[in-house]
Amino acid sequence: MSIRALTIALALLLPLAACRGAEPQAGPGQAATAESGLQLIPLEIRSGGKVHKFTVEVARTSDEQSRGLMFRESLAPDRGMLFPYSPPEVASFWMKNTLIPLDMIFVRADGSIAMIADNTIPGSLESVSAGEPVAAVLEIAGGRSAELGITDADKVSWQDGPK
């Protein structure tokens, strides 16, 4: 390979290397995935005439749900993780090995909010549950629900979930 061809090849590859840490994007007909390997989907919370938009990782399997957001050192304000349950069940969470505070939003099958556990304590082994069957639990950055004014009067929706 000539030096000119090598220089051109390197010039074309360098921008790709700079993107290495970015979240993978979906191609046509493909689902977007996070660095964790979990599917990324849009989620909305309708609150008092406002719509709060999030991009969330979906933890579908029991292994994915067991790991959740453990060992994460940060969570962007517009990000989160969704734990769907079909059929709805009484879900119970703890914060073992979770390094950051989280708001846990327990969502009924109709999209209404059963309970918000705000600013859960990192590392806590205390069980957190709405005490009723839920279709999903949404975890977002601790304090974000209060910051956005999200209450149990609001509605949550996502693809394949309540509309």
Residues in the chain: 163
Q: Specify if 75 maps to a domain.
A: yes
Q: Specify if 109 maps to a domain.
A: yes
Q: Specify if 129 maps to a domain.
A: yes
Residue 30: pLDDT band (50, 70, 90) is low
Q: Specify if 1 maps to a domain.
A: no
Q: How confident is the model over 145-150, as a mean pLDDT? A: 97
- Sign of the torsion formed by the C-alpha atoms of 80, 83, 86 and 89: negative
Q: Specify if 76 maps to a domain.
A: yes
User: What is the pLDDT at residue 128?
Assistant: 98
Q: Specify if 25 maps to a domain.
A: no
Whole-structure pTM value? 0.81
How many domains are there within the chain? 1
CB 131 within 8 A of CB 97: no
- Return the CATH number at 112: 2.60.120.1140
Which secondary-structure segment (H or E) carries 42?
Answer: strand 39-47
Show the domain range for 118: 31-158
Q: How far is CA 116 from CA 26, 83, 95, 119, in A?
A: 32, 14, 15, 9
User: What is the pLDDT at residue 160?
Assistant: 85
Mean pLDDT of the chain, nearest integer = 86
Residues 49-79: tens digit of each pLDDT:
999 999 999 999 999 999 999 999 999 999 9
Q: Specify if 106 maps to a domain.
A: yes
Residue 87, preceding peptide bond in cis (omega within 30° of 0): yes
Q: Report the alpha-carbon distance of residue 80 to residue 54 in Å, rounded.
A: 7
Residues 69-123: tens digit of each pLDDT:
999 999 999 999 999 999 999 999 999 999 999 999 999 999 999 999 999 999 9
Q: Specify if 51 maps to a domain.
A: yes
pLDDT for residue 124 is more than 90: yes
User: What is the pLDDT at residue 54?
Assistant: 98
